[in-house]
Chain A
Amino acid sequence: MLGQLIVSGLAVGACYSLLALAMVIIYKTSDVLNFAQGEMAMISTYVAFTLMESHHVPFQWAVILTFLFAILLGASFEFVFLRQAKEPTVLGLIIITLGFEMILMGFAGWKWGPDQRSLDFPVSNIETYNLFGLVMSKINFWTIVISLVLMFILFLFFRYTKVGVAMRATQQNQLAARVMGIRTKWILSFTWAISSMVGAVAGMLIAALGVLDPTMMMDPLLKSFASAVLGGMTSLPGTAVGGAMLGIIENLFGGYVSLAFKSVVAFAVIVLMLCIKPSGLLAKHYVKKV
């Protein structure tokens, strides 16, 4: 049972990691926590669902179109709502994301209704891979692979591409970055677009693992937030480690201590982490010079 609990924990942790990754990308560049992340992912997933279900678009095309939609959604949210905010503080921007979250939730309820749906995914969530007597569903396995690959690509992107370096520069000091010729506004839109796309991947995988409905991202978003705090809000590998650890901790707690309190473990983790090491496990603690 121990082994199976760990394997299942890893699988669910991969979903948390993906969504945490989407949050961290935005946080890294703008210090903003995006509370609309979950609902943006949910809307994108509904777009994929509609394309496949109502317009009979093949899966791979539906995914590509959904990515395009997610990119547009992210960039336009930044452009239409955040950029227009007058002398925004970080708190103000966070509140805007909260408002956007509610708008999206209401929109999904109105457009697609409250019924639970099933997203057709080419990989089964019931068929399994067996490894030394431990089982993992095919979709769980591919979720782990996809999140690791995405993380690696983004890591390379931030470290070695010009745009990636510009994003980091924007986060550290917007004014200086602009003086150095970086188009910081463009960089911010770009960040939101990428984050929204990563969120869409997470949304589709989470819907395929369970069901698709307007409330499907509420729990995963909170858990991914906990994962990001655990791993470090500014560290990409931190989200992978944080997500996996949280998934395993939750499952072990559920399996051996109490299932009734399993879902609150994540919050205990946030509190503990903020007390012991506020920057998270893998992020460097740095103090901004004034």
Chain B
Amino acid sequence: MLKKAFVSMALLMMVTFLMTTPGLAQKVRGVTDTEVLIGQTGPQTGPAALWGAVARGTGLYFKGINDEGGIHGRKVKYFLRDDGYQPAKTRAIATEFVEQMGIFGVVGCVGVGPGMAVRDYYTENKVLMVSFGCSGVTNWINPFNRYIFATYPLYVDEARGLTRYLFEQMKLTKVAVFYQNDDYGKQGLEGVEHYEKEKGLKLVASVSAEVTERDLSSHALKLKSSGAEAVVMWAMPTHAALLLAECAKIGYKPQWATSSTLSDSPVMMQITKGLWTGMILSYPIEPPDSNNPLMVKYRAWHQKYEPNERWGTFYYSGCVYAEPFVEGLKRAGRNLTPETFIKAMETLKDWRGGIGGPFTFTSTDHQGAKYVRYAQVQPDSTVKILTDWVRITK
């Protein structure tokens, strides 16, 4: 009797030991011999659906990568879910991703609001978040989180860089800001204020608008009466169009400058009825008609897989957000785990293997995008790149 009990105990202990020993029975979630499972959330419906193109662009990129044979014998199995830019939905999708599908990571998900709702959950479950948010809001990367790799320039740095460009290259000292009254807009304001403070200058006016506001006539008057030579704008496309029209009406023609979020020049040119000409843009990727060999390849993929999609900057920026992820997979090698992936990503130093700026990740800093170029919108809606890559993050 005692012998039987002893044998059963021993067996039980062995089984427990085997189950808890890494490398023996455990396998990595989302990684099989032939596949890596990746999730992505992005608004395909609702008021923020404009940015949903980013998510579809990432899908195009993965299709191309899979057709080229995948990475280390593994293909990317990719799930796109529509969260309508609603954090509660993003959270529900996250549970589905982790507990039902068992994904390895998420790539290029859209929206900081939705991101904030799932950051802790993904971190607890060791889900890698590469290019999540597609946004440069600082509270996404603070405090430091090993599982987050950010590939979008910080808005604060972008705005500071733009003001520096206006001041140093265009000799414009009287600068005003027009911003959307939320996190995104306020970080634009903050960036401009940083630079003005550094140089001992004074911001001549800061004018804000609520997201839903549709009448910007008094905003335009305020900007005009401030006498600003240049206006840095941190807003949505609709506000940009309304403000430019109002300013044109009252004969106010400052030098405009804006963030990469308004870099879709053909759309902006159309909705501003040509007033977008001359806009100075902070430009973190290649222009749509670039001859960069990768851009040529991506355009070919676009023609082959998704010819009905418009080749706009939001769409192909979906590729930019996935490029560092695929590079990380390549560097991590066949033995892919969250740990080996993180270590591999942290070896990217001024990496220029994609259509974005140089990316650098270290063990203490996962804000990879620190460079932009400056561009100016031409009358035919193309953009002229004015500078080489300029470092904007200190």
Interface of A with B (CB < 8 Å)? 1, 4-5, 8-9, 11-12, 106, 109-110, 113-118, 125-126, 128, 135, 137, 206, 209-211, 213-216, 218-220, 247, 250-251, 254-255, 259-260, 262-263
Contact = CB atoms under 8 A, between A and B. Distances in A.
Contacts of B251: 135
Nearest to B219: A259
Contact of B271 (A137, A211, A263): A211
A218 B49 contact: no
Contact of A259 (B209, B214, B246): B209
B215 interface: yes
21 contacts: A4-B250, A12-B215, A113-B49, A114-B48, A118-B271, A118-B273, A135-B251, A137-B249, A210-B214, A210-B242, A211-B242, A211-B271, A218-B212, A219-B212, A247-B215, A250-B218, A254-B219, A255-B218, A259-B219, A262-B210, A262-B213
A226 to B, nearest CB: 13
Interface string B241-271: 1100110111100000000000000010011
B245 A125 contact: yes
A116 B271 contact: yes
B214 A219 contact: yes
B134 to A, nearest CB: 16
Given A118-B271, A118-B273, A215-B212, 14 more contacts: A1-B225, A4-B221, A109-B45, A116-B238, A116-B267, A116-B271, A135-B251, A206-B214, A210-B242, A250-B215, A251-B217, A260-B181, A262-B210, A263-B212
Interface string B45-71: 111111010000000000000000000
B270 A5 contact: no
Contacts of B214: 206, 210, 216, 219-220
A116 B248 CA distance: 20
B47 A126 contact: no
Contacts of B210: 262-263
Contacts of A220: 214
A211 B213 contact: no
B151 interface: no
A110 B213 contact: no
B47 A255 contact: no
A255 B273 contact: no
B242 A263 contact: no
Contacts of A12: 215, 217
A259 B178 CA distance: 11
A12 B219 CA distance: 13
B213 A219 contact: yes
A126 B249 contact: yes
A116 B218 CA distance: 23
Given A126-B248, A135-B249, A259 B222 contact: yes
B275 A126 contact: yes
A259 B275 CA distance: 24
A118 B272 CA distance: 8
Nearest to A252: B218
A170 B217 CA distance: 41
Q: Which among B49, B213, B217, B271 has the greatest number of chain A C-beta atoms within 10 A?
A: B217
Contact of A213 (B181, B222, B238): B238
B338 interface: no
Q: Which of B49, B208, B249 has the most CB of A within 10 A?
A: B249
Nearest to B237: A116
B218 A211 contact: no
Contacts of B45: 106, 109-110
A9 B47 CA distance: 27
B390 to A, nearest CB: 29
B219 A117 contact: no
B47 A214 contact: yes
Contact of A262 (B218, B238, B242): B218
Contact of B52 (A114, A214, A254, A263): A114
B141 interface: no
B385 interface: no
Contacts of A5: 217-218, 221
A272 B181 CA distance: 25
A260 B179 CA distance: 10
B217 A126 contact: no
Contacts of A116: 50, 237-238, 241, 267, 271
B49 A109 contact: yes
Interface string B261-297: 0000001001101010000000000000000000000
B203 interface: no
Given A219-B213, A259-B208, A251 B218 contact: yes
Given A110-B45, A220-B214, A117 B181 contact: no
Nearest to B312: A115
Contacts of B46: 109, 114
A9 B215 CA distance: 9
A206 B214 CA distance: 9
A260 to B, nearest CB: 5
B116 interface: no
Contacts of B249: 125-126, 128, 135, 137
Nearest to B215: A12
B233 to A, nearest CB: 15
B50 A114 contact: yes
B204 interface: no
A206 B213 CA distance: 13
A24 B242 CA distance: 28
A93 B151 CA distance: 49
Contacts of B213: 219, 262-263
